[in-house]
Structures are given as C-alpha cells and as structure tokens.
Chain A
Amino acid sequence: MEARVVNKGQLPELLDKLAKDYDLIAPVQEETVVLFRKISGAKDVFLEYTNSDISPKGCFLPQNEKTFNYTYTGDSIEIKKPEGAQKTVLFGARPCDIKAITTLDPVFEGEKFGDEYYSGKRENTVIIGLSCTKVLSTCFCYAFEGGPCDGTGSDLLFTEIGDKYYVEVYTDKGKALADAYSQIFSKGGEQLAKDKEELAKKLAGEFVRKVDLTGVKELLDNNFELPYWNGDDQKKCLGCGTCTYVCPTCHCFDIFDYPTGDFTGARLRCWDSCMYPEYTLMAGGHNPRPTRKERVRNRFMHKLKYHLDRYNMVGCVGCGRCVRKCPVNIDITKIINDLKEVAQNA
C-alpha cells in the first residue's frame, strides 16, 4: 500500500486549500460539543478531541434531507429534485466512525434498490480518516473487528507521528487527492509505518472495557424471548432517542411531506428513532413494540444480530457514544457481557 507524509505544520495550508476546492467537512467545537460541520478554512477546525459528540454519518445521511419539492399544477404534479451532491472532503473522522459508514453502505446501496441521495454523496466524498492517539474508557472498537488506527473505509488515513502525519493511501480516490496536492503530500513515509504499528499496539493495550462477544449471537439467534429483556434496562430506559441519534451505525428515518401552501411542498427524510413508541405505530393503532421492553430488546438485537444477518456486517463499531450519552447508563458492553453469561449458563 502506498504511503505519503504530511508535515503537521502544513495541515492548515492543506485544509485551507481543500476548503476552497471542495465542501470541506471537519470537526469543529461549538462550546463544549464537538461535531462535524462544513468549514471555510483551517481556523475553524478542532482536532483536540478523542471522539466527537455527533458522528460524521450526517455527511451521507443528513438529519434533515429534502428529497424533492412538489408543485401541483392542476393536472399534473411537478417534482423538482435538489442539486446533486457537491464534491466533498470529510476530514478528521475516526476509524470507528468510518467503519460505521461502511456498515451503512449495504443499507442504502443494496443490490436491488439504491438510494441516490446517499450514493451521490458517497461517490463524491473523499474520506480522510484520522487515527486515534488516545483511547477513552468508553471505547471498545476492538470488540467489533476495528481498531484505533484501522483504515477500513478511508480513502486516506492520517496518523499523527511526532511532527508529521503518516498518510496511508487506501483507494484510488485517495491517491488522486494526494497527487493533486503533491506539494503537501510528500512521497515516502515507509519508515513511519513501524511507528504507526507501535502506536496501534500501544493503544490496543489501553482499552479498559472488556467486551467478549463469544456465544452472544448464537444465543440471540435461538432465543427471541429471553427473560433477560424483562430486567432493569427496559425499566430504566427513558425512551428518548439519544442513543440512536449519536450512534454512527443507526440509520432509521421517517419520510413525510411538508406542505408550504398553494399545493406546493417538499418531501423530507429525517432521522427517526426506534426507541420512540410511535416508531412502529401503525394505522389502526396496532403497535408490535408496544412497551419499552420490546423496543430495548429490538435495539440490541439489531446491533448484535439483525444487521449481521442481513448484511453480513457488524451493527456496532464500539465508538462508545451511547455509553457516554445515555442519561441512565444503559451500557451495551454490560449487556453483551451479561448475554455471554446467559449463554454460558444455558
């Protein structure tokens, strides 16, 4: 695999150039919160974070997306789709979040049906990942085949080593970008590969959460009605959407029409949460997930089983945001370990 080197001191110059030539989306800090926004230059970027509060999945699946405007002209309906995706660079996403984006791909770019809004953005975006240099107590990406310096899904992966960034080129898209800014991406860097390996090893030893998935999937495959789901988690869950909205792999959405009067309007696709009671409420009043127990069970079944079954990809990437943000400390790592015990005692 090819490699490049970028001097840390040249990063602001690179970001300024990218902001001019592309829509550059990078981490910013708004008061105490770190999230991804389109920025106009290097001065807005904030990189002193371990992981952001909101994942960059909004680059590809925005929280609010207008799918088209409609006008009823009396004898026909005119549909006007928004402009296609602009060429974009997503800079500074962590490996767990980038892996999460790859788990969204089979959902929106299936064999039979494709989502042009998602695909358009995906095709036109270059993903420049940024390896972690620290591990939080809530991180557990290793449990889901990920790692703090894993380049899966990145076009380019930057790893900070001393006063340089060791850049791995994973795709042609990444190579094209590196070549286009060759005055900043110097060739070479192979000697930094060893440093990166050492960093990865060091970080791997810093995880404090022990998460072991052994036997969990098989248990869930064969037992939909586990007494475990009647426990405390469904009692303390508030049913808010926090976990689903901060999660980089969650992708549920609601589609509705928003009339703007005079027979015009727009159709919108916005994030929705399976934790809301009305998420599965059907016309007629039937709700297959009537209480919190069913909804809590569904969430973890989805993350640990359904996504794997359907797309042969993990449903969770171990970013730990749900663990950090849950108001009542519902913890997927605890649930996984509890389920493992249940499986062992069965």
Chain B
Amino acid sequence: MLKRLLEYVGFEPGRFQARWISGSEGAKFTTTIKDMTEKIKSLGPNKKMRDDIV
C-alpha cells in the first residue's frame, strides 16, 4: 500500500521496495540487496523530498 502511495505522489517505481526476509534466508537477503542497489544506481540520485537546508 505504501509503495503504491509513494509512486502516486511521484517517487519513481523501484525506489521503495518492501520485502519479507526471515533471519535464516541469508541468500535471499543478499540477492535482494544486490538487486535493489543496482536498481537504485540505475535510477540515479533521488530528487524527490530532498532536504534544502544549506
């Protein structure tokens, strides 16, 4: 639900993902993080909701 809401407000699909990984699913954890890292890198820096304090 949150994922859909964030995309509705203008976050690029893929920036936010939710996964259920239990403590014993180490391999799944690794692949998920690797995939997500690649995805984020391909999306580039996030411009949405950036803080503006200088």
Contacts and interface: CB of A to CB of B under 8 A. Distances in A.
Are chains A and B touching directly in their complex (CB below 8 angstroms)? yes
Interface of A: 66, 69, 258, 260, 266
Interface string B12-54: 0000000000000000000000000000000000000001011
A66 B53 CA distance: 9
Contacts of B51: 260
Interface residues of B, number: 3
A260 B51 CA distance: 10
B49 to A, nearest CB: 16
A258 B53 CA distance: 9
7 contacts: A66-B53, A69-B54, A258-B53, A260-B51, A260-B53, A266-B53, A266-B54
Contacts of B53: 66, 258, 260, 266
Contacts of A69: 54
Contacts of B54: 69, 266
A179 B3 CA distance: 59
A178 to B, nearest CB: 37
A260 B53 CA distance: 8
Contacts of A66: 53
B1 to A, nearest CB: 27
A69 B53 CA distance: 10
A293 B51 CA distance: 37
Nearest to B52: A64
Nearest to A66: B53
A160 to B, nearest CB: 38
A66 B52 CA distance: 12
A120 B51 CA distance: 27
A141 B36 CA distance: 60
A318 B54 CA distance: 38
A69 B54 CA distance: 8
The 7 closest A-B CB pairs, nearest first, are: A266-B53, A260-B53, A258-B53, A66-B53, A69-B54, A266-B54, A260-B51
A266 B53 CA distance: 8
A70 to B, nearest CB: 12
A321 to B, nearest CB: 28
A165 B51 CA distance: 44
A83 to B, nearest CB: 12
A231 B54 CA distance: 47
B21 to A, nearest CB: 29
B7 to A, nearest CB: 23
A266 B51 CA distance: 13
Contacts of A258: 53
Nearest to A82: B54
A62 to B, nearest CB: 14
B3 to A, nearest CB: 28
B50 to A, nearest CB: 13
Nearest to A265: B53
Contacts of A266: 53-54
B17 to A, nearest CB: 26
A230 B37 CA distance: 59
B53 to A, nearest CB: 5
Nearest to A258: B53
Contacts of A260: 51, 53
A305 B51 CA distance: 41
A68 to B, nearest CB: 12
A266 B52 CA distance: 11
A6 B41 CA distance: 58
A199 B53 CA distance: 47
Nearest to A268: B53
A244 B51 CA distance: 26
